[in-house]
Amino acid sequence: MTRSFTRHRPSTGAEKNYRTTEKECFAVVWALFMLRPYVQGTRFIVRTDHSALRWMLLMDGAHGRLARWRLRLSEFEYFVETRAGAAHHAADTISRLATPAGDTRRTPEEIPCLTLASSSRAWTIPSYKDRRDSPPVTVDRLVNTQAQDNRCHELRQEMERNAHSRYSENAQGLLVRRAPLDRVTQVYVPKSLRTEILTLEHAPAHAGHPGANKMYVSRRRFFYWESMVADVYDYVENCGTCAKGRVGGRRRTNPLRLFSPTELQSAVCLDLLGPLPKTAMGNRYLLVIVDRFSKLTRVVALPREDAETVASAF
């Protein structure tokens, strides 16, 4: 396994002058730090066909470069095992995987992207559409809606009477509020736009259905109304998509146990991701396949999630 990692990392000028045993030892050091998320806190085996490497990793009188390597490896709990090269049935598995040629096709220009509204007076936040019949939230729409809202009229009258009011009108004609703690300017949202503002932050695919706390912190940077906190929590609580994935706490449950894989493809994990936005090929799901021994990952796009389609892709 050590030779596989040395082939994937370009050597520097000094490393090319290492002796064979030092190269084998350096491959172990580099590989363990690359695989730190998988081996940290566990007891594992460093299996090699280079018998001198066993002596080098376990020697007590190391100095110089070897001492620095030993010091870096001291945070791991491992033991070294020597096996003859002829007994390695899957030697250099990672470096010998077939690599297909690079994709030389022209990148299509019709890539959907999220942009700001085309209006010259568009608000500084991306104006995503939640429904096809819903216009984007632009500055013009906010100004017109505020002009028809009774609460906005009351705030404007209060602003004219009180010179120290937190409310003011910016250069674009919007009724805004100066937050006392955050020191940011918040747009006052009329009652008719509040649900839509919350929907644009929570429901689209790019939003990921954030929780109430995260959603409130994100929205308060730009918007404000008196019952904003309660409305945000009520919206998230009544979201049907969030309710499907909401799992209550369980008592007296035993922790899951994973059986350690012993060879290639002895333990393979599969999982479905989706449904996602439909592609031009009609695919809406991703089948993720991971070999637990080598951590090799493959992803297959699928149009459906039925058993026949998944079995054929696997």
C-alpha pair distances (Å), 180 with each of 6, 155, 165, 167, 216: 57, 17, 11, 11, 16
Q: Which of 2-6, 21-25, 200-204 has the lowest mean pLDDT?
A: 2-6
Residue 106: predicted pLDDT: 64
Mean pLDDT of 20-39: 81
Q: Would the pTM count as exceeding 0.75?
A: no
Higher pLDDT, 88 or 310: 310
- The third-level CATH classification (topology) of the domain covering 139-244 is Endonuclease III; domain 1 (1.10.340)
206: confidence class by pLDDT, cuts 50, 70, 90 = confident
In the chain, where does DSSP find H-type helix? 2-8, 20-34, 36-39, 51-58, 65-73, 139-147, 150-161, 194-202, 212-220, 228-237, 240-245, 307-313
Comparing C-alpha atoms, which of 75, 12, 85 is closest to residue 53?
85
Where are the domains positioned within the chain?
Answer: 2-87, 139-244, 268-313
Higher pLDDT, 147 or 6: 147
116-144 confidence digits (pLDDT tens)? 333 333 343 434 444 444 566 788 888 88
Bond before 190 cis per omega within 30 degrees: no
Please state the length of the chain: 314
Higher pLDDT, 128 or 157: 157
